[in-house]
């Protein structure tokens, strides 16, 4: 609440005022799926510096481009999904699909 009072010196647009009011009154609805992940990934909250292999960065940039995201937002989205337990291990996924095909 203190941060909001300090921030009140800034001029907000009508839309920003509505968003702030809705958040304070818990009157909001989360977006579904990828839109929500993209929104969270694009939020600027905290800077982290990592040393990442050049090849890995290039692969991440290509994957991000396929998703129409900046690569840093894409990395943030991956981390978010991992923390929430929504990131799926491809090997496990492939094994489950293989087993399901055998049963069908």
Which tens digits make up the pLDDT trace of 15-40? 778 777 777 777 666 555 556 566 65
Q: First vs last Cα of the chain: how many Å apart?
A: 56
Domain count, the chain: 2
Which tens digits make up the pLDDT trace of 72-102? 989 989 998 889 888 888 888 888 888 888 8
pTM of the model: 0.50
Instruction: Check whether residue 20 and residue 49 sit in a common domain.
Output: no
CB 65 within 8 A of CB 73: no
Instruction: Check whether residue 53 and residue 86 sit in a common domain.
Output: yes
**Backbone CA torsion sign across 13, 21, 46, 88:** negative
Cβ neighbour number for residue 28 with a 10 Å cutoff: 11
Instruction: Check whether residue 44 and residue 7 sit in a common domain.
Output: no
Cβ neighbour number for residue 53 with a 10 Å cutoff: 8
């Amino acid at each position: 609440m203190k941060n909001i009072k300090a921030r009140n010196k800034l001029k907000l647009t009508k839309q920003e005022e509505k968003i702030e009011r809705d958040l304070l009154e818990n009157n909001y609805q989360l977006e579904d799926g990828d839109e929500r992940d993209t929104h969270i990934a694009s939020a600027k909250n905290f800077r982290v510096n990592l040393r990442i292999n050049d090849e890995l960065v290039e692969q991440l940039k290509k994957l991000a481009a396929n998703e129409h995201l900046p690569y840093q937002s894409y990395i943030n989205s991956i981390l978010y999904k991992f923390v929430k337990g929504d990131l799926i291990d491809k090997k496990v996924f492939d094994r489950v699909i293989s087993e399901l095909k055998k049963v069908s």
